[in-house]
Amino acid sequence: MYDPVILAQHTRKIVVRGNLRKYYRKVRSERWYGGIAGAYCCGCNLRCVFCWSGFPRDNPDKIGDFYTPEQVFNQLKEVAHKKGYRQIRITGNEPTIGRDHLFGVLELVDQSNLLFILETNGILIGHDKQYAEQLSKFKNLHVRVSLKATNPEKFSKLTGAKPEAFEFQLKALRNLIDSHVSFNPSIMMSFCSPSGIQQLMDRLREIDQSLASNLEEEYVILYPPVVVRLKEAGIEPVI
């Protein structure tokens, strides 16, 4: 079992150079959120069994090139404008690992009419309260914290991380509330039992009454590499 905070430190050494971040794929337009431009970064601090990011997650040292915040923002802006989208994101892996790079992109987003959707597992925001405070300075930002499971044991089973790290996901929600950052939680429903969902709802209500009603549902997409991973782990989606 690994500690995702430590894994983030190791991964950062590979995918971050100053304010440069490694990306493995050109910016493209996507259908999510009603249309969004997405840049694909390398490296994550979790190892979710349902993750569709294969090689760039597990071998970030062997793939990708480094880009400045300006380069990434300009590509995102170009694709968004071409398609008439207002939303942009950094996807593929975990954007919060390169903090200076991310903040560099967000500074540029704030000078535009675009909205940045920060999709994150929240571990680093939960681990460091200052991260949420720093995010609160950006106005064209909405954070989506993707909860991986409904409790520490399930979290560990699905990510391979130590169970206690699940609390960082929930702590991220608390820290974002305290810092008045626009956000919503989501949950990977495909591996949840009804009692597990109830358990999670109770935890969310303990943090804030509004969280349970703003919980977005996510479902696994069975891309071929995901099917292989699930099979190897002996895990089947229930939904």
Site of interaction with ligand SF4 (CB under 6 A)? 44, 46-48, 51, 53, 57, 93-94, 121
CB of 7 to ligand SF4, least distance (A): 10
CB of 180 to ligand SF4, least distance (A): 25
Please say which residue, 10 or 82, places its beta carbon nearer to ligand SF4: 10
Tokens of 158: 């699905």
Please say which residue, 2 or 103, places its beta carbon nearer to ligand SF4: 2
CB of 32 to ligand SF4, least distance (A): 14
Please say which residue, 41 or 108, places its beta carbon nearer to ligand SF4: 41
Tokens of 216: 């977005």
CB of 93 to ligand SF4, least distance (A): 5
Please say which residue, 75 or 121, places its beta carbon nearer to ligand SF4: 121
Q: State the Cα angle at 75 between 71 and 80, rounded to 5°.
A: 145
Please say which residue, 108 or 156, places its beta carbon nearer to ligand SF4: 156
CB of 226 to ligand SF4, least distance (A): 10
Query: From start to end of the chain, where are the E strands?
Result: 16-17, 20-30, 36-41, 65-67, 87-91, 115-120, 141-147, 183-188, 216-218
Q: What is the DSSP string of 159-223?
A: H-B-GGGHHHHHHHHHHHHHTT--EEEEEEGGG--HHHHHHHHHHHHHH-HHHHHTPEEE-----
Please say which residue, 77 or 127, places its beta carbon nearer to ligand SF4: 127
CB of 91 to ligand SF4, least distance (A): 8
Residue nearest to ligand SF4 (CB): 51
